[in-house]
Amino acid sequence: MRTASTAVTEAPVACRNPVSTVSLPDHRESPGGCYGQPVEQAPLTLSVPATRRRGLSIHERRLLLMGFDALAVSLAFVLAFNLWTAQVRHVGFSVPRLGTLVALGLWVVSATIVDAWNVRAASSMRLTLPRVSTALGISLIGLLVFFLIVPYQITRPTIVIWAPLAWVLVMGERLLYGRLVAASSPPARIALVADREALTRVWPEVKGHIRGLYQVAAVVNPRSEDCTEKLCDVVQQRDVGEVVLGLRDDIDRDLFRALLACHDAGLRVRSLADLYEELTGRLLLDQLGHTWLLGLPMRSQTSHTYAAIKRALDVTVASAALVVLGVVILPLSAIIKLDGGPVLHRQVRVGKHGRPFTVVKLRTMRPRSDDRTTWTEAGDRRITVAGRLLRRLHIDELPQSWAVFRGQMSLIGPRPEQPQYVEQLRSEIDFYNTRLTVRPGLTGWAQVNSGYGSSVDDARVKLSYDLYYVKHQSLSLDLIIMARTVMAVLSLSGR
C-alpha cells in the first residue's frame, strides 16, 4: 500500500520501457523477420493516483488484531494485579512489568497455536469465541505453572481474576474490530488475469475464501489480443490495488511488461496460488507449475542447523515414548488379546524418496478375512472396543517411535501411505511425489488441519497441506504442529 507524503490530486506514476533490442523469439515479427533479429518494443506507460486508498491488506488486518489483543491482554493483567495483589500488599497503583510480559508472551504463543489471528474468522463471533476462549485457557494454565515455579509477587487469585477480565476485553475489541475495522475498511480491489479454464476449475475453490477481504474489480483474459490495453485501463480506472495472475507458468512478453508496469506503479502483483496460500495455509494444486517446483527450498541441503535440531528433537521424544511403551506394553497386550488376534500390526509404508519401510502399531482393528486393503473410514466396523479407546488416545501410535528413533520417520512430516495408494495417487495427482522429499511423520500440517482422509479427493486436500509444509518447513512451524497435535490428543479427537 502506498501513501503520499504530500497532498496530490492526481500524480501519474509512469513506467516507460525504452526502445530496446532483444534477441528472443517473437512470433509477431513481420513475414520477413527471423529469430535473433532485433525487435523493437513500444514504450509502455501506466499512471495511477498516488494517494489512492485500496483497503487494508490481510497482513495489515492481522497486525491490527495482534495490536488490539496485546493491549487488551496487558491491560487485563494490570487491572487484575491492582484489584487483588496491590490491595493485599497495601501499595498504590502499579504495573507488574514481568508478570505482564509473561502473560502477553503466553497469549502470543497460545493465539498462534489456535490460529486466533485468522482474519477470515475475526469478523465472525461464532468462529472467534472458541479460538479466544481456548487461547486464554492455555495462557491461564501457563501462568499458573510459571508463577508456581518462578518466585514473583503474583498471587494465584490475581491470575484467576485476569482470565475473565482478559476474555471480556479481548472479545470486546474483537467486536469493535468486526464493527468498525472490518466493516469500514472496504475489501481490497483486485484485477484478476485468468483464462476461462482457470475461472472454471480454480476460481470456485478460491472465491469462498476472499469474501469480505478482496473484491474482483475486473477479469482480464490473457488470451485476448488487447489483454495489455485492458489490464492498463482496469488498473487506472477501477481503483485496483492488486493484480492477481491466474496462470500456471509461461506468460506472453507483452503481458509481462504490463505486469511489470503495474509493479513499478506501486501495485502488488502476485499469483492466484500465492493469494490462496496466504488465506488458507495450503497450496492451490491446479495452479502449481515448474516455476513453483524450481523455487522450493531444500531444507535438508540449505539449513543444516534446522535438520540437526529436528533430528535431535526426534531422538529425544522417540526415546521418551519408547520408555513409556515399555511400561504400558504388558497391560495393553492383555487388553488387546481379549479381542483375539496379534498384539502388533505391521504394514509396509513408503518413506523418504520412495523407500519402503515397515510401520508397527498396536492392533486396533479385526484382521480381514481377505488380503484387500481399503481406506479406513470414520466409525469403521473393524475397529475393536479396546482399539477405539487406543485410537482416541493415539496410544496405538507409540510403537512407531522406533521408526522415528531409527530415522525412517520424523515426529513432524506428511503421514506415510501404503505403496498401492502411493502408486494410485501418483498417477492421479500432480506433484504427489514432492511430498516424498521429506521424512514422513507421526503427525503433520495436513493432520492438524484436515484430519484423516478416506478417498482420492481427501488425498488431494491433504497433499495441498503437505506441500505447504514442504515449502515452509521450519522449527516454528514444527512447534505449532506439535502443540496442535497435543491439543488434539487431549480433546480425544482420534478415530
Going along the chain from its start, the domains and CATH numbers come out as 58-184 (no CATH), 188-294 (3.40.50.10700), 299-364+381-490 (no CATH)
Residue 85: predicted pLDDT: 67
Residue 294: predicted pLDDT: 67
- Identify the segments of the chain with pLDDT beneath 50: 1-43, 49-51, 53, 299-300
Condensed to tens digits (0 to 9), the pLDDT of residues 309-324 reads 999 999 999 999 999 9
| Cα R_g (the chain), whole angstroms | 28
Residue 378 makes CB contacts below 8 A (sequence gap 6+) with 452, 454, 495
Cα–Cα distance between 460 and 252 in angstroms, integer?
30
How big is the chain, counted in residues? Answer: 495
Residue 97 makes CB contacts below 8 A (sequence gap 6+) with none
Condensed to tens digits (0 to 9), the pLDDT of residues 387-402 reads 888 888 888 899 999 9
Residue 286: predicted pLDDT: 78
Residue 406 makes CB contacts below 8 A (sequence gap 6+) with none
Predicted TM-score (pTM) of this structure: 0.79
Burial class (CB in 10 A: 0-12, 13-18, 19+), 443: buried
Residue 478 makes CB contacts below 8 A (sequence gap 6+) with 310, 313, 411, 412
Cα–Cα distance between 456 and 458 in angstroms, integer?
5
Q: What is the per-residue DSSP string for 279-300?
A: HHSS--GGG--HHHHHT---HH
Buried b or exposed e, range 92-110, using 16+ CB within 10 angstroms: eeeebeebbebbbebbbbb
